[in-house]
């Protein structure tokens, strides 16, 4: 893949104790960023300061005269597609919901520019992360936030798409860019099929295309080079099969390093044992695919845009607790209804039905209760807020709740696929598979088994 290899320059995958991590082999240059911004606004005064970074991005505070913006420069983990999809996703959420998301000022999905990386210039959202304000917010303010996310979920449910993958603008190669150099579309881009939705609240002209998926499992490490279909997937079964195939590839790659298993050191033995165990789980999951995901409909499966990292760090709120912004729309895919009709991730957690008694917790030197108290209070409050979220969804969108109530088996299967290589979860997965295989009545969910362990 010569084209792909040239596009991932600047990205290095580094082995760590906890697996591979993406790293920058060279840093974006501040002067190149300023030069790019000056081309966009020739008469403006430009200021640029490093703000922080995420797993795949570096963030920069940008001031153009008196306008405050954010520039997000991306590692080429999935060249072109990640940037194009992120821009289309923010636009779609802006058009179909009332959730405040960044507005894109300009972007470049090719690295053929003076910065040398793909980038997005967007508005800077006000507020502070919910993680920093949760302790000081009233429960009433938290309840209002939950109601807003219920309305958001309802809006996306009413604007369903078709097929599983990521969304793109109708003409993804035409973009507002400071660069005049564009790479020609690859053979893969030219031939990839797309699914479009016909029955939505938005006009057909405005509905984005569902096409190639941009997801961490599909580009992590060497996965980006694997010859595997990347969507759009017409069914849940096809999507999950592709994910299991990638996990299988990892196992076979490890086992291929050890053709002789008689003389292995302890670390090598662990690798071989882990891969062998994972392959057995994958085989068992494959045998259940048709049972859990019968694919009788030849049409592409309905899907919804699903932000799977609506954590307290990606939700911005004002001082009074009003929702001010939702961040981090990269790798947000159109997923099947059974997966998308679920709580926002900031509401997930272990249930706690009794309010913690603050008097029973250790006090810090400043008189504040210990972090353990706040953790337990968080679990207690989110237990109540989850019920409030479902109650509001029943009022707004009964169809969403029906999917939610009937999809635990599919969600558990998804958890098993995500964790098939996790030694700590393997026993629970195998016991859950055994119960399904033997037709056990009142099947205990895999989610509960893991949470209660």
Mean pLDDT of the 182-210 span: 50
What pLDDT does 257 receive? 86
What pLDDT does 297 receive? 81
pLDDT grade, residue 182 (50/70/90)? very low
Residues 6+ apart with CB under 8 A from 395: none
Q: Residue 195 pLDDT more than 60?
A: no
Q: Residue 203 pLDDT more than 80?
A: no
Per residue in 1-36, pLDDT tens? 555 666 788 899 998 888 889 999 999 999 999 999
Looking only at the bridges linking them, the beta strands covering 104-108 and 209-211 are unpaired
**Which tokens is 47 given?**
């200021």
| Domain parsing of the chain, residue ranges | 129-160+297-304+317-326+335-451
Q: Which of 222, 231, 259 is nearest to 168 (CA)?
A: 231
Residues 6+ apart with CB under 8 A from 148: 98, 99, 323
Q: Residue 251 pLDDT more than 50?
A: yes
What pLDDT does 2 receive? 56
Range of lowest pLDDT (106-120, 165-179, 191-205): 191-205
Q: Residue 367 pLDDT more than 90?
A: no
What pLDDT does 295 receive? 79
Q: Tell me the C-alpha to C-alpha distance, in Å, between residue 363 and each of 126, 356, 366, 372.
A: 33, 14, 8, 10
pLDDT grade, residue 366 (50/70/90)? confident
Per residue in 416-453, pLDDT tens? 999 999 999 999 999 999 999 999 888 999 999 998 87
Mean pLDDT of the 393-399 span: 97
pLDDT grade, residue 199 (50/70/90)? very low
Per residue in 91-105, pLDDT tens? 999 999 999 999 999
Please, are residues 100 and 125 in contact by the beta-carbon 8 Å criterion?
yes
Q: Residue 84 pLDDT more than 70?
A: yes
Residues 6+ apart with CB under 8 A from 385: 142, 143, 146, 347
Residues 6+ apart with CB under 8 A from 401: 341, 390, 393, 394
pLDDT grade, residue 261 (50/70/90)? low
What pLDDT does 259 receive? 77
Q: Residue 194 pLDDT more than 90?
A: no
DSSP letter assigned to residue 330: T
What pLDDT does 7 receive? 73
Q: Which of 296, 189, 156 is nearest to 236 (CA)?
A: 296
**Which tokens is 294 given?**
């019968």
H-helix segments, 208-352? 216-219, 236-256, 266-292, 337-340
**Exposed / middle / buried, residue 242 (Cβ in 10 Å: 0-12, 13-18, 19+):** buried
**Global confidence as pTM:** 0.89
What pLDDT does 181 receive? 36
Mean pLDDT of the 53-67 span: 94
Average pLDDT of the chain is 89
What pLDDT does 446 receive? 95
Mean pLDDT of the 127-146 span: 95
Per residue in 274-317, pLDDT tens? 999 999 999 999 999 999 999 778 899 999 999 999 999 999 99
């Amino acid at each position: 893949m010569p084209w792909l290899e040239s596009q991932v320059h600047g990205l290095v995958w580094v082995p760590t104790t906890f697996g591979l991590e993406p790293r920058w082999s060279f840093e974006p240059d501040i002067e190149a960023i300023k030069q790019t911004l000056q081309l966009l606004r020739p008469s403006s005064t430009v200021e640029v300061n490093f703000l922080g970074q995420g797993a795949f991005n570096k963030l920069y505070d940008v001031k153009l005269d008196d306008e405050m913006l954010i520039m997000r420069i991306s590692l080429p983990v999935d060249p072109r597609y990640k940037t194009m999809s992120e821009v289309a996703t923010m636009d779609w959420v802006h058009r179909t919901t009332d959730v405040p998301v960044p507005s894109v000022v300009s972007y470049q999905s090719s690295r053929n520019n003076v910065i040398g990386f793909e980038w997005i210039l967007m508005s800077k959202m006000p507020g502070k992360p919910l993680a920093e304000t949760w302790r000081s917010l009233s429960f009433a303010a938290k309840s209002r936030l939950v109601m807003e996310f219920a309305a958001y979920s309802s809006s996306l449910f009413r604007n369903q798409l078709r097929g599983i993958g990521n969304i793109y603008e109708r003409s993804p190669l035409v973009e507002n860019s400071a660069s005049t150099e564009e790479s020609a579309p690859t053979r893969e881009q030219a031939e990839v099929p797309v699914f479009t939705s016909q029955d939505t609240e938005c006009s057909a002209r405005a509905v984005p295309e569902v096409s190639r998926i941009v997801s961490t499992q599909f580009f992590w490490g060497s996965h980006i080079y694997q010859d595997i279909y990347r969507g759009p997937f017409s069914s849940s079964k096809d999507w999950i099969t592709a994910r299991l195939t990638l996990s299988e590839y990892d196992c076979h790659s490890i086992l291929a390093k050890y053709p002789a298993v008689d003389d292995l050191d302890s670390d090598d033995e662990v690798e071989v044992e882990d891969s062998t165990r994972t392959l057995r789980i994958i085989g068992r999951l494959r045998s259940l695919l048709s049972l859990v995901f019968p694919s009788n409909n030849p049409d592409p499966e309905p899907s919804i845009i699903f932000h799977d990292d609506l954590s307290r760090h990606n939700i911005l709120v004002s001082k009074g607790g009003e929702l001010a912004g939702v961040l981090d729309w990269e790798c947000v895919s159109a997923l099947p209804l059974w997966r998308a009709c679920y709580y926002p991730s900031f509401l997930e957690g272990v249930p706690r039905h009794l309010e913690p008694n603050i008097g029973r917790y250790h006090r810090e030197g400043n008189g504040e209760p210990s972090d353990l108290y706040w953790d337990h209070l968080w679990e207690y409050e989110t237990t109540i807020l989850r019920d409030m979220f479902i109650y509001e969804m029943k009022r707004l969108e009964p169809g969403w709740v029906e999917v939610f109530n009937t999809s635990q088996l599919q969600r558990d299967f998804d958890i098993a696929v995500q964790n098939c290589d996790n030694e700590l979860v393997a026993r629970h997965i195998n016991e859950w598979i055994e119960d399904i295989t033997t037709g056990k009545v009142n099947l205990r969910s895999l989610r509960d088994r893991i949470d209660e362990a």
